[in-house]
Chain A
């Protein structure tokens, strides 16, 4: 079975930094995705980690610790358009992708 845990909601100020944590316990593990989903839209790919460590991509970075079953998404220089749901998705086998509960981020002025 899959157990994926994220905070349900977070609020942060424009220009600030926010870290969204994800812990997971899964049957098998290949790597971990982060997706962004704006209200009423389809999820879009943000990052993928397969090895331990930090992957940086512009304002967004993602970290993975396989031994701890832990990942985080770091968003820097927050903008209003970053208000969205952020979905942690461990990849548990060949093409098995299960989403966590999602974190609804609200960016305020």
Chain B
């Protein structure tokens, strides 16, 4: 099983709503990531979890709240978002860098396309 599964695929929300994006992988990876991607731009790193602990927060506004309940799951809680937060949100996972033959290659999910009205 080499899949990273993201739900929902599409989400439309108002600025006062609270919603969550979910990501799941069963490859035994202990690093998980959230990226944000706007149209015709590269993915921007938001958060990195390593061994279920937040290791990187790239100065993301607090209206985005990540959570890693266990080694297979990664959530992104959304609250009071702005229209400019509309984007494709990509989840990825990888082995933690350092093992023999381990490159830390990222495996991406198909993304959750978020529209904030």
Interface residues on A, range: 20 to 34
Give bound CA distance, A49 to B66, whole Å: 31
Q: Is B34 an interface residue (CB 8 A)?
A: no
On whether the beta carbons of B48 and A95 are closer than 8 Å, the reply is: yes
A9 to chain B, nearest CB (A): 10
On whether the beta carbons of B108 and A42 are closer than 8 Å, the reply is: yes
Tell me the A45-61 residues at the B interface (CB within 8 Å).
45, 48, 50
Contact A43:B108 (CB < 8 A) given known A95-B31, A102-B41: yes
A-B contact count (CB 8 A): 62
Give bound CA distance, A11 to B77, whole Å: 40
> Which of B43, B44, B98 is close to A94, meaning CB atoms less than 8 Å apart?
B98
On whether the beta carbons of B97 and A94 are closer than 8 Å, the reply is: yes
Interface residues on B, range: 20 to 34
Pick out which of these stretches binds chain A: B68-76, B79-87, B99-107: B99-107
On whether the beta carbons of A87 and B42 are closer than 8 Å, the reply is: yes
Residues of A at the B interface (CB closer than 8 Å) are: 30-31, 33, 35, 41-45, 48, 50, 85, 87, 91, 94-102, 104
> Can you give 13 A-B contacts (C-beta < 8 A)?
A33-B106, A42-B110, A44-B108, A45-B105, A48-B103, A50-B103, A85-B42, A91-B104, A95-B50, A95-B104, A98-B45, A99-B44, A101-B42
